[in-house]
């Protein structure tokens, strides 16, 4: 009896953790879809925004969920800045290798910057109410993790609505599919790219707040997180918001269940093996069809 309870606990945690990967993956999906850029610095940016949240909390006493607003705003601006400063030419030239290397360079810079400026010590945002738990059907749910899941789902819904219901969102989807044809509609790809990048980094900001409030983080965690986000994206398939979210959740489940049954080290190995298998045999994602772009 207790075993089932324990496993359900792990499952729930897996879903909560996975939703963070999912949000990061949605950002990656958008950026890759429109600009063919694999933004491997996504994880490091998430850690950066976690630090924003942390410092706002530690130095100014701002509640992390309130700090979501400024962090989100800064992230949106940061995204536009990244595009304009770093990726604009590479996106125009469809230079995939170049943009990958720029992203790697950014990741290295951010990681080392944060290590130097904020020390390698792990941080976390611990609020007084954070540890309140609820008992639902015999499973313990911490408040922070619950809110984290809620935020993730809301963010996914918001992005999905943006893409489906707004004209710019539709333009983003069109550009993802065929840039040239979209210019023939009068769509300015530069503008679409800025919006997309901003949203992508905005999502990173949201993930950052969630990360800060639910787990601990340190400057070098970004690489690992980015890899997981990529794996989530591979599992879910590019181009669909909810698929990316589900990809993250599945990954979270695999990771946490794996850790529970075979230990953390082997679980990581399993995760990467699944990644390799997925990429080799189903590069369009578990939900994707053969017609999807790769």
Q: Closest approach of Cβ 105 to another protein, in Å?
A: 4
The residue whose two tokens read 């979209």 is 182
Angle of helix 143-165 versus helix 2-35 axis, rounded to 10:
30
Binding string, residues 71-100; x marks residues near another protein by CB under 8 A? ---------------x--xx----xxxx-x
Min dist CB 283 to another protein, Å, is: 6
| Subset of residues 191 to 250 that bind another protein, contact rule: CB under 8 A | 223, 227, 230-231, 239
- Choose the binding region for another protein from 15-23, 63-71, 252-260, 277-285 (rule: CB under 8 A): 277-285
Q: DSSP secondary structure string, the chain?
A: -HHHHHHHHHHHHHHHHHHHHHHHHHHHHHHHHHH----TTHHHHHHHHHHHHHHHHHHH---HHHHHHHHHHHHHHHHHHHIIIIIHHHHHTT-HHHHHHHHHHHHHHHHHHHHHHH-S--B----TTTT-EEEETTEEEEHHHHHHHHHHHHHHHHHHHHHHHSHHHHHHHHHHH-HHHHHTTT--HHHHHHHHHHHHHHHHHHHHHHHHHHS-B-TTHHHHHHHHHHHHHHHH-TT-HHHHHHHHHHHHHHHHHHHHHH-HHHHHHHHHHHHHHHHHH-TT-SS--TTS--
CB of 13 to another protein, least distance (A): 22
Shortest separation between residue 275's beta carbon and another protein, angstroms = 5
Q: Considering only residues 98-137, where is the footprint of another protein by CB under 8 A?
A: 98, 100-102, 104-113, 115-116
Number of shown-chain residues binding another protein (CB under 8 A): 57
Give the nearer residue to another protein in terms of CB position, either 129 or 281: 281
Q: For the segment 132-171, give every residue that binds another protein (CB under 8 A).
A: 167, 170-171
Query: Which one of 63, 173, 284, 287 is in contact with another protein (CB under 8 A)?
Result: 173
Out of 242, 279, 284, 287, name the contact with another protein by CB under 8 A. Answer: 279
Q: Which of 174, 216, 242, 287 binds another protein (CB under 8 A)?
A: 174
- Long-range contacts at 264-267 (CB < 8 A, ≥ 24 apart): none
Nearest approach, Cβ of residue 166 and another protein (Å): 11
Of the two residues 115 and 140, which places its CB atom closer to another protein in the complex? Answer: 115
Contact residues for another protein, defined by CB under 8 A: 38, 86, 89-90, 95-98, 100-102, 104-113, 115-116, 167, 170-171, 173-174, 177-178, 180-188, 223, 227, 230-231, 239, 265-266, 268-269, 272-273, 275-276, 279-280, 283, 291, 294
């Amino acid at each position: 009896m207790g075993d089932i309870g324990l496993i359900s606990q792990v499952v729930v945690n897996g879903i909560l953790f996975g939703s963070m990967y999912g949000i990061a993956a949605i950002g990656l999906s958008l950026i890759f879809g429109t600009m063919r850029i694999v933004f491997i610095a996504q994880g490091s940016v998430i850690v950066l925004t976690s630090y924003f949240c942390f410092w706002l909390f530690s130095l100014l006493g701002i509640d992390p969920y309130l700090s979501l607003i400024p962090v989100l705003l800064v992230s949106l601006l940061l995204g536009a800045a990244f595009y304009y400063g770093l990726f604009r030419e590479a996106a125009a030239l469809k230079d995939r290798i170049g943009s990958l290397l720029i992203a790697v360079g950014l990741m290295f810079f951010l990681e080392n910057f944060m290590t130097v400026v904020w020390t390698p010590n792990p941080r976390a945002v611990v609020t007084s109410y954070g540890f309140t738990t609820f008992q639902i059907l015999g499973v313990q749910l911490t408040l922070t993790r619950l809110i984290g899941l809620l935020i993730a789902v809301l963010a996914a819904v918001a992005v999905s609505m943006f893409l489906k219901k707004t004209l710019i969102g539709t333009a983003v989807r069109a550009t993802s599919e065929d840039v040239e044809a979209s210019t023939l509609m009068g769509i300015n790809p530069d503008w679409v790219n800025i919006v997309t990048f901003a949203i992508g980094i905005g999502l990173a900001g949201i993930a950052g707040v969630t990360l800060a409030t639910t787990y601990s983080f340190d400057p070098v965690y970004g690489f690992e997180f980015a890899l997981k986000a990529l794996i989530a994206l591979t599992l879910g398939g590019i181009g669909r918001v909810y698929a990316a979210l589900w990809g993250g959740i599945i990954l979270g489940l695999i990771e946490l269940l794996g850790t529970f049954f075979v230990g953390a080290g082997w679980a990581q190995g399993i995760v990467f093996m699944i990644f390799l298998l997925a990429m080799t045999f189903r590069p369009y994602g578990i939900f994707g069809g053969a017609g999807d772009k790769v």
